[in-house]
Amino acid sequence: MTQDQQHLQRAIALAHTNVAQGGRPFGAVLTRHGEVLVEAVNEIHLTQDPTAHAELLAIRAASRQLGARLEGCVIYASGQPCPMCLSAMYLCGVERVVFAASNAMAEPFGLSTAAIGQQVGLPPSEQRLPIQHLPDAAMTALYRQWKAQHDPQ
C-alpha cells in the first residue's frame, strides 16, 4: 500500500467514525513531507458552523502550528473537497489534494457540492446569489496603506 493510500484510508476511517457518532461522512488528514500533522472530521453536527468541514478544520489546526502558508502539505480527504475548502487550499498553498469519493459518487446521497462549484465559477452577475458591487474609493487608500506596511523596505 502506498503512502497516499494509507493516508487516504485513515481519512476514510475518520469519516466512518464520525458517521457512527452522528456526523457527516467526511474526514481529512493533513501531512507535511509525509508526516501526519493533523486529523480532522466534519463538525457541523457539533458546532452548527456550516464551515466546519474536515479539510478547513485541518487547515486551521495546521496553520496554528506552521503559520498561514502550508507549502509541502498534502490533504487527504474522504470526499471531494467543496469549493470553499478547495479555495482555502489554494490560499494557504497546499501542495496536493487526494480524495476518495467524487461529487458524482456523493450526488445520490445529497452530499455533492458540484452545483456550488458551478455557481461560483460564473461571473457574479450570473450567480443565483445576488451579489452587488458598490465601489468605494476609500478602499484604494486602505489597500495602499496595507501594502506600504507589508512591503519590504
- The residues assigned a catalytic role are 55
Amino acid 110 reads G
Cα separations (Å) of 70 from 61, 88, 89, 130, 137? 11, 11, 9, 33, 33
CA triple 13-18-21, angle to 5 deg: 130
